[in-house]
Amino acid sequence: MKLVKINNRRLNLYFTHKELLDEKINIDKMLIDEQVCNTYINDIISILNNEIHLSLEKERLIFQIFPLVEGDLLVSVTKKDEQTDEFVYKFEDIEEIFFVFDNFFASFSGFSSIFTYNKNYYLVLCECSDEEKNFLWILKEFGTKSLLNKGFLDIYGKCLMRDNAVETTFKYFLRG
């Protein structure tokens, strides 16, 4: 593992393919299984706290995971900024996203995008108002909170609708 401190709020961890194999870590499973990812990330935090004396457990952290060439892995760890306003949910069927929009998000005012990656659909919501944040629990009823982020989906996924998915869905697929 190689640690690169970017600034006081962010550090990057690089893992070689061999290190991942030695630890029996499956990158694909890590990206889709929140429990596997959380277990592994908690192990990383423990190592960092013990070896480098960083006190990360008390901070709210955001993890971004990026597969690199030849099976290597980059984990970017950032202290959560209260201004961060990105929510990503995974759905098995795009119709589930349309159902949520039709029944709960008719007046959504933030940015919304829909991506597809590994045969799943991802809804990315940004710049939600405080009132809209109160309704995000509804997404957990129909989808699952994802560990992927918009940056990852921009690179590895396919964007179906960018920044105005709610409006586009209503215009072309729902109440036209």
- Over residues 135-161, the mean pLDDT reads 89
Give the architecture-level CATH label for domain 86-172.
2-Layer Sandwich (3.30)
Structure tokens belonging to residue 143? 């989808």
When pLDDT is cut at 50, 70 and 90, the band that residue 58 belongs to is very low
* Boundaries of every domain in the chain: 2-79, 86-172
- Over residues 50-66, the mean pLDDT reads 63
Compare 75 and 47 and report the one with higher pLDDT. Answer: 75
pTM over 0.75: no
Structure tokens belonging to residue 142? 């129909």
- Over residues 143-148, the mean pLDDT reads 89
- Rg (Cα) of the chain, in Å, rounded? 18
| Alpha helix (H) residue ranges in the chain | 17-22, 27-32, 34-51, 94-104, 130-133, 137-142, 150-156, 165-172
Average confidence score pLDDT of the chain: 80
